[in-house]
Amino acid sequence: MNQSPEEKRKQRRTPVEISVKAKIIRAEESLGPLVLSGMIMDLSPAGAGVLLFKMTERDYRHIVRYRATKLIKLRFQLEPDPEPILVSGSIIYLDFLNKVTYTACGVGVAFDELDIEARERIQAYLESPRQQEQHQEG
């Protein structure tokens, strides 16, 4: 029996809405990284569910074709902390939400390199009273 992504995760993710800049490293260095804006939709100290905007069908097919290069770098800010969090991870899954317009792509990211300070900042954010209230309302 196949497990869903939720069942495979090491830690439960909390629903959030956090703006993010994503840089996907491509196998063909001559193409350079694919840089996109998006929204983190769920988060834990171990990974995130990200909705990326304006990824083209060609970009999607490139990533699927070169499965060996699944490196993604995320940059985001946890309010009210002004210091951004920078994290590298692996793309675990990706899927277009609309396979007609190819306007948004859901990406599951497992964090590979997350320093202790960033991990603690994420955990503190997720456990903050403000975030707990928003989670219960949503």
pLDDT-derived band of residue 12, with 50, 70 and 90 as boundaries?
confident
Distance from the Cα of residue 43 to its chain's centroid: 8
Q: Tell me, what's the pLDDT at 3?
A: 44
Q: How many domains are there within the chain? A: 1
Query: Between these two residues, 93 and 66, which has the higher pLDDT value?
Result: 93
**pLDDT for 108:** 92
Domain CATH for 21: 2.40.10.220
**For residue 33, pLDDT beyond 90:** no
As beta bridge partners, residue 71 has: 90
Q: Is the model more confident about 117 or about 58?
A: 117
Q: What is the pLDDT of residue 76?
A: 98
The mean pLDDT of the chain is 81
CB 77, CB 47: distance < 8 Å = no
Q: Which range marks the domain in which residue 130 is found?
A: 5-137
